[in-house]
Amino acid sequence: MPSNSFESFCGRVCSFVRFSPDHDAITAELTAHLEDHRDALLELRSGLTQEEAEEAAVKAMGDPEELGRALNESHSPLLGWFQIWFQAVVWFLSAIIVIFCLFHLPDTLENLTSKPDSVSSDPALYFERQVYPDDLVTQYEANAVYQDPPYIYTIEQVAIENYSGARYVECILQITQPNPWLRCPAFGYDLWAEDDVGNRYPSTREWRALDETIYSKVKVSTPMGDFPFTTHYCLTVTNVDPAATQLTFRFDRYGEIRLSLTVPLKGGQADG
Amino acid sequence: MAERPISQRGRKWRILRDAVILLLALVFLTVTLDFPIFTAGQALRATQIRYYWEDGEMVAQLPPGNIYKYQYLLRNGNWYAWCGLSREGLLWNYGSLVSVYRDPEQPLTAITPVSIQTILVVAGDPDIAQVEVEYPITVSLSESSRTCQLKRLRQDPVTEHCFWFQPPEESSPICQLEDIRLRGYAADGTLIYQSPIPESWAKIGIHVTE
């Protein structure tokens, strides 16, 4: 237990330290020093009384005002209060955020890792679910890739369908981007296509401006899922020439080609 | 053991540690909230990239609309675009962008960016100093009939070659872009160009003779 003279000395020192939250720690440290000094004096000089040793220890510490002012310099109230309040606010906010995040963790993990339900983990399954088996002529992998930073466009699967004698081509287009704020690029209205026998399949915008009796066109679905790093679209080209063996999708509304993907076509006249 | 007072350096380290904790917490929050958009500038930039309009420069900020509180006019060469941004509380939604080409061969070209609530007209003819849009509005509607009348709005350009119309809510057009008639006037008020009378007007009982 600290003696009265120690308490009095520490109190005088602390009266010069403006940052009060540190007073207890300063008092504790000074008291420990004083006690160590007192005990050392009592050991060295056997004739000293407890009070005399304490008085000598206090005296050895020097002027309390000078010591207090020196400590005040190293205990800035501005930095000290800021650190205390900043820590309180940060820990409180962080606790709330962690609870909120943990509550939504399953949804977050699914959002970061999943593909749209309609595409599932395998785009091939999309066609199995969406297309009548009698209409599906063939389905195959294409692996057509086009890069236009920040987007990477990939057609992984192609399905050739036959509706009342008309050849339809459906592709699952996957677009990946490293920046989650750039998901769902908006090219769908202006994506057109051409085949290797000279036919042009207009974009939805061009088709609307044309005679609506023209049945060939490129249609891009709304995004099949809204995920941070990946967007899927279904591209459909109607009334594709049976003689065509490959189809190239293009987006060049503003002059420069920003998307160009060529996929082979199977199940046409060339394949018998 | 007595607690040692924290040194200045110790406090700075604690502030740094807490700043890192705060940053990590905000990153987790951002991921959990599915990467929300925090500022209008970020929303505008993201919209431009998503619509392949990275090189477009903002030439005018338009008055706030009913759906999009922040509307901008962008330009890239002879292409013009309307870009609309909307807020959701403190955060921003993904914006919309609709573009139009200023064809020097076409005296006037129009688009209706927000469905039928707004009309953007670009003038290919450099002599056009004012543009007027004329469109039908419904004045009375019953189960058996609908009565329409024509409404006109005339504007000066918001920026070079660009005219922006935001009809008041009570007189919003009931029609599609094809139902709007455009007129272009010279600086002295002379009519330079007017588009043909839309065929659809006759179907809703509006007959105009010239």
Contact list in B for residue A32 (CB cut-off 8 A) is 2
pLDDT reported for residue B2:
47
Per the domain annotation, does A131 fall within a domain? Answer: yes
Exposure b/e, B85-114, CB count within 10 A at least 16 = b: bbeeeeebebbbbbbbebeeeebbbbbbbb
Do A52 and A134 share a structural domain? no
8 Å CB contact between A232 and A173: yes
* Cross-chain Cβ contact B19/A90 below 8 Å: yes
Q: How many CB pairs under 8 A join A and B?
A: 100
Q: Taking 90 as the threshold, does the pLDDT of residue A150 lie above it?
A: yes
CA distance A105 to A34: 54
pLDDT reported for residue A87:
95
Question: Which of A56, A75, A94 marks a domain boundary?
Answer: A75
Per the domain annotation, does A15 fall within a domain? Answer: yes
Which 8-state DSSP code applies to residue B13?
Answer: H
Per the domain annotation, does A50 fall within a domain? Answer: yes
Per the domain annotation, does A103 fall within a domain? Answer: no
8 Å CB contact between A224 and A116: yes
Tens digits of residue pLDDT in A157-174: 899 998 888 899 999 999
Do A141 and A70 share a structural domain? no
Do A256 and A162 share a structural domain? yes
Give how far A253 is from chain B: nearest CA, Å.
Answer: 9
Do A133 and A54 share a structural domain? no
pLDDT band at residue B99 under the 50/70/90 scheme: very high
Single pTM value for the model:
0.80
Residue range B55-67: mean pLDDT, rounded: 89
* Cross-chain Cβ contact B32/A93 below 8 Å: no
Q: For residue A235, give the 3-state DSSP assignment.
A: strand
8 Å CB contact between B193 and B106: no
Looking at residue A83, its amino acid is Q
pLDDT band at residue B118 under the 50/70/90 scheme: confident
Per the domain annotation, does A204 fall within a domain? Answer: yes
Do A37 and A128 share a structural domain? no
Q: Which residues contact A257 (CB under 8 A, 6 or more apart)?
A: A250, A251
Picking from A81, A85, A97 by the largest number of B CB atoms within 10 A of its own CB, the best residue to mutate is: A97
Contact list in B for residue A183 (CB cut-off 8 A) is 50
Rg (CA), chain B: 25
* Cross-chain Cβ contact B18/A182 below 8 Å: no
- From first CA to last CA, the distance across chain A in angstroms is 102
Cβ–Cβ contact B177 with A under 8 A = no
Q: Taking 50 as the threshold, does the pLDDT of residue B204 lie above it?
A: yes
pLDDT reported for residue B1:
46
Do A130 and A39 share a structural domain? no
Picking from B39, B52, B101 by the largest number of A CB atoms within 10 A of its own CB, the best residue to mutate is: B52
Question: Which of A14, A48, A75 marks a domain boundary?
Answer: A75
Q: For residue B18, give the 3-state DSSP assignment.
A: helix
Per the domain annotation, does A95 fall within a domain? Answer: no
How far is CA B24 from its chain centroid? 36
Tens digits of residue pLDDT in A4-44: 888 999 999 999 999 888 898 899 999 999 999 999 998 88
Tens digits of residue pLDDT in A84-137: 999 999 999 999 999 999 999 988 888 887 666 666 667 777 777 777 777 888
Which secondary structure element, helix H or strand E, spans residue A130, and what is its range? helix A123-130
Residue range B81-107: mean pLDDT, rounded: 92
pLDDT reported for residue B184:
95
Number of domains making up chain A: 2
Give how far A104 is from chain B: nearest CA, Å.
Answer: 7
Q: Taking 60 as the threshold, does the pLDDT of residue B130 lie above it?
A: yes
Q: Look up residue A208 and give its two tokens.
A: 């609307």
Global ipTM:
0.82
Which string of DSSP letters, residue by residue, matches A179-234? -GGG-S---GGG-EEEETTS-EE--HHHHHHS-TT----EEEPSPSS--SSEEEEE
Q: Taking 60 as the threshold, does the pLDDT of residue A1 lie above it?
A: no
Contact list in A for residue B29 (CB cut-off 8 A) is 97, 100-101
Tens digits of residue pLDDT in A261-272: 999 998 766 665
Contact list in B for residue A87 (CB cut-off 8 A) is 14-15, 18
Cβ–Cβ contact B160 with A under 8 A = no
Do A263 and A178 share a structural domain? yes
Per the domain annotation, does A93 fall within a domain? Answer: no
Q: Taking 50 as the threshold, does the pLDDT of residue A192 lie above it?
A: yes
Picking from B13, B21, B29 by the largest number of A CB atoms within 10 A of its own CB, the best residue to mutate is: B29
CA distance B180 to B112: 10
Residue range A130-150: mean pLDDT, rounded: 87
Question: Which of A34, A57, A75 marks a domain boundary?
Answer: A75
Per the domain annotation, does A118 fall within a domain? Answer: no
Q: Look up residue A227 and give its two tokens.
A: 């995920």
CATH number of the domain within which A223 lies: 2.60.40
A3-7: Cβ within 8 A, 24+ apart: A3/A50, A3/A54, A5/A51, A5/A54, A5/A55, A5/A58, A6/A30, A6/A31, A6/A34, A6/A35, A6/A54, A6/A57, A6/A58, A7/A31
Do A240 and A136 share a structural domain? yes
Percent of chain B with pLDDT over 70: 92
Do A181 and A59 share a structural domain? no
- Domain hosting A129: range is 124-271
How far is CA B40 from its chain centroid? 14
Do A155 and A41 share a structural domain? no
pLDDT reported for residue A4:
80
Average pLDDT of chain A to the nearest whole number: 88
Q: Look up residue A114 and give its two tokens.
A: 């999943």
Do A240 and A168 share a structural domain? yes
Chain B residue with CA closest to A20: the answer is: B5
Q: Look up residue A122 and give its two tokens.
A: 């395998």
Do A253 and A143 share a structural domain? yes
Give how far A237 is from chain B: nearest CA, Å.
Answer: 22
Of B15, B25, B94, nearest to A97 by CB-CB distance is B25
CA distance B182 to B175: 14
Q: Taking 70 as the threshold, does the pLDDT of residue B196 lie above it?
A: yes
